[in-house]
Chain A
């Protein structure tokens, strides 16, 4: 069985500050890992994904994530947050991109 935990329901950061969103997963095999972002009233946009290889993956909008097998984590980071990054972020895990299991989401608020 797969499960995804995003420990933080809400996070508030100041514009220009760094950001880290946590994601822990439970999966019985080598996971395929994803981060999606959802703006209010919108669908989900893929930020980045990890399948194999380099454990630090780069995504769109200046985001990156690091896969740490020993910690079962796939945390999302951004060095400097912009006001337009305010949204809800979802971590997801699955096999080959099928039957994704999603975390409950983390709502990011950005203070100006």
Chain B
């Protein structure tokens, strides 16, 4: 049982490049979300999805896009990377009948 899997674990981008952070879960969870973690700020919600075909914005959505074409996958796209997007990104999922969020191991992104 892999849980929540994020790829890549580390990535360096140049300003203006685009990329996609992948997130997959094998627990058949309806709810998935993306957070970014910055020093002294805890985790902040970027986007979330309550099911396939449904997404919504979180606290810090600007510069990011998401889609949810399947229950298992919830990719996060950076359209034009900026140094301010240097951060650690965490994908998470939750079963609608539980109230526990399970986190992936994180993706370290540096934008130069």
A residues with a Cβ closer than 8 A to B are 4, 6, 9, 32, 34, 36, 41-46, 49, 51, 90, 92, 96-105
Contact = CB atoms under 8 A, between A and B. Distances in A.
Given A97-B99, A98-B94, A99-B48, 16 more contacts: A6-B42, A32-B99, A36-B103, A43-B90, A43-B103, A44-B103, A45-B103, A46-B101, A46-B102, A49-B100, A97-B98, A97-B100, A98-B48, A102-B42, A102-B43, A104-B42
Contacts of A100: 43, 45, 101
A74 to B, nearest CB: 15
A42 B101 contact: no
Interface string B3-46: 00000000000000000000000000001010100001111110
A103 B99 contact: no
Contacts of A46: 100-102
11 contacts: A4-B42, A9-B40, A32-B99, A36-B103, A43-B106, A46-B102, A97-B31, A98-B50, A99-B48, A100-B43, A100-B45
B42 A105 contact: yes
A51 B97 CA distance: 13
Contacts, number: 57
Interface of B: 31, 33, 35, 40-45, 48, 50, 58, 90, 94, 98-106
* Residue in A36, A42, A43, A96 with the greatest tally of chain B CB atoms within 10 Å: A43
Helix, strand, loop or mixed for chain A's interface?
Answer: strand
A105 B100 CA distance: 19
